[in-house]
Structure 1
Amino acid sequence: MIRFANKTNIPFTLLGNGSNVIVRDGGIRGIVLSLKRFLNVRREGNKVIAESGARIIDASRFALQESLTGLEFSCGIPGTVGGALYMNAGAYGGEVKDCLESALVVDSKGDILRVAAEDLNLEYRTSNIAKKGYIVIEATFALQIGKHEEIKAIMDDLTYKRESKQPLEYPSCGSVFKRPPGYFAGKLIQDSDLQGKGIGGAEVSTKHAGFIVNKNQATATDYISVIEMVQKTVKYKFNVNLEREVRILGEDEGVTDKKS
């Protein structure tokens, strides 16, 4: 598919689970490829090897089943393994870079490569995967032998924290903003009195200010407008720039330029 897209000059977009993505109301032009059926997760020694379409939650549950420790932090992250590598996903003090050994990828030419974790430039909620034009096929996580009951206790505690603090009762694209140096995005938004404020069907969650929820048939335009409102307000009140963690793809409705 990559080679075909290159040959025909058709725009190409890769999607995983779409859990940290907003697609503009006009949709995505060209080829959209999803790897959601790449679901296999297996063990080799003390390593868990997960295909990119598997949920990172399922990889953590498989590790628990095998009494392997190191992936507990990801037990509440809703995205795929490929998406988790793309953004170096993390939660509760852990992140992908802590346990990733390597990734099997397809490059922008359509060739298959194995890339060491240190060559992916995994930093806070970012990597060089997009810049390099890589598509992750599978990830190898280097873990350690642990005690099943201890691993389960950690995962149960993290799951409770997630369910009690995050607005899972409404659709959302997860945590919207990266953590600014020296601050917490949710605290800045809360202190800006933005919780419950919205545009159209989208509003800042009253349960966790770092989330923007779809309360009533929100469009992507509604959602993006709320993001911009939050950024402008926080900048005005605290002179802090909030950088999006969520990706925005596609084009607005009514765009007809085939070159766009």
Structure 2
Amino acid sequence: MNLRHLTARFVSLLGEAGIRENEPMAAHTTFKTGGLADLMLLPRTEEGLVSVLRVLREENIPYHVIGRGSNLLVSDEGLRGAVVKLADGMDNIDICGNTVTAQTGAALKVLCLEAIRAGLAGLEFAGGIPGALGGAVCMNAGAYGGEMKDYLTSVRVIGRGLEICEIPASAMDFSYRHSAIMEKEYIVLGATFSLPFGDPRTGMEKMNELNARRREKQPLTYPSAGSTFKRPQGNYAGTLIESCGLKGFSIGGAQVSEKHAGFIINMGNAFSRDIYELILYVKEVVLKETGVVLEPEVKMLGEF
């Protein structure tokens, strides 16, 4: 990869502030681990993003598109090619009546607060979920009985041919931690919700109550990616892991949280390899002891 040549092309599209070379991915994931990305690109508009993607394809450069890194485990060896980060600058939220339209980089907490302040209900469950709208829509993120799909009306995406289109939520094939976005390799640009009207005070109380429950039960003071494993049918990952005596078990600086066994946390000095090996070990033990196959929620990027 001719980095100098590429940098010149991207400067013309994004300006110097939109390009970073040898960027530490530990600064862009909630696990706080990960090696260097050859190139990080920070488009601030849809047009800029499409232009960046077109250049990457023309130059045959491998790339990853990320949001706020709340569900990622990046290899200690870093990432070759480019990382396209959609966050600041692509985080606008617009509310008209009971219709909420937000860009992919909008933080879920901010989205929830803006909706509540506008007298709208339904997103209180998302007020404590880290990360941005794009990843949440892709994974149909949820908590405390709510999911992103509940009030979604449409999703704005970039397709494989770099065309921008608006797709109705009914065509998104939403299910538990799944959407059609994964199979179709869409890049989420934004989403529109139709929310019921509610009382702002009631909404704030509900969000605060759910967040208090999170603080009580989850290890939020340590870097993590939230729940490490998807919920197996008819059971809970944390319950199964705890039943296997793995609560507090550690490899290197990574630990199965003593507070909630469904979380693998960075105790402060973990490498991505520690976390990865601990995920594999937990899966192996749980399968052997219970016969249940745990599937990670965490997306892994790079070589492990």
Q: TM-score range by the shorter chain?
A: over 0.9
Q: Structure 2 residue aligned with 1:171, among 212, 223, 235?
A: 223
Unaligned runs of 5+ in 2: 1-51
Query: Distance in 2 between the 1:73 and 1:160 partners?
Result: 12
Query: Distance in 2 between the 1:203 and 1:212 partners?
Result: 6
Q: Which runs of 4+ in 1 moved over 4 A?
A: none
Determine if the alignment matches structure 1 residue 215 to structure 2 residue 274: no
Structure 2 partner of 1:17? 68
Structure 1 partner of 2:137? 85
Query: Distance in 1 between the 2:259 and 2:99 partners?
Result: 37
RMSD value, Cα: 1.0
Structure 1 partner of 2:110? 58
Query: Distance in 2 between the 1:45 and 1:106 partners?
Result: 27
Deviation at residue 216 of structure 1 after TM alignment: 3.3
Q: Secondary structure at the match of 1:167?
A: coil
Structure 2 partner of 1:136? 188
| Identity rate, percent | 45
Query: Distance in 1 between the 2:178 and 2:82 partners?
Result: 24
Letter in 2 for 1:3: R
Determine if the alignment matches structure 1 residue 224 to structure 2 residue 269: no
Structure 2 partner of 1:29? 80
Aligned pair count reads 252
Question: TM-score, normalized by length of structure 1?
Answer: 0.94
Deviation at residue 95 of structure 1 after TM alignment: 0.2
Decide whether the 8 Å contact of 1:3 with 1:109 is kept in 2. no
Query: Distance in 2 between the 1:32 and 1:169 partners?
Result: 27
Structure 1 partner of 2:297? 245
Q: Structure 2 residue aligned with 1:122, among 174, 178, 181?
A: 174
Q: Secondary structure at the match of 1:13?
A: strand
Query: Distance in 2 between the 1:62 and 1:133 partners?
Result: 29
Deviation at residue 8 of structure 1 after TM alignment: 2.2
Deviation at residue 250 of structure 1 after TM alignment: 1.1
Query: Distance in 2 between the 1:56 and 1:115 partners?
Result: 21
Question: TM-score, normalized by length of structure 2?
Answer: 0.81
Determine if the alignment matches structure 1 residue 191 to structure 2 residue 191: no
Structure 1 partner of 2:24? none
Letter in 1 for 2:53: I
Unaligned runs of 5+ in 1: 253-260
Decide whether the 8 Å contact of 1:2 with 1:108 is kept in 2. no
Structure 2 partner of 1:256? none
Structure 2 partner of 1:202? 254
Decide whether the 8 Å contact of 1:10 with 1:30 is kept in 2. yes
Query: Distance in 1 between the 2:185 and 2:279 partners?
Result: 27
Q: Structure 2 residue aligned with 1:110, among 153, 162, 183?
A: 162
1:90-143 Cα distance to aligned partner (Å, 9 max, x none): 000000010111111111221111011111111101112132121111111110
Q: Secondary structure at the match of 2:109?
A: helix
1:138-175 Cα distance to aligned partner (Å, 9 max, x none): 11111011111221121111011011111011111111
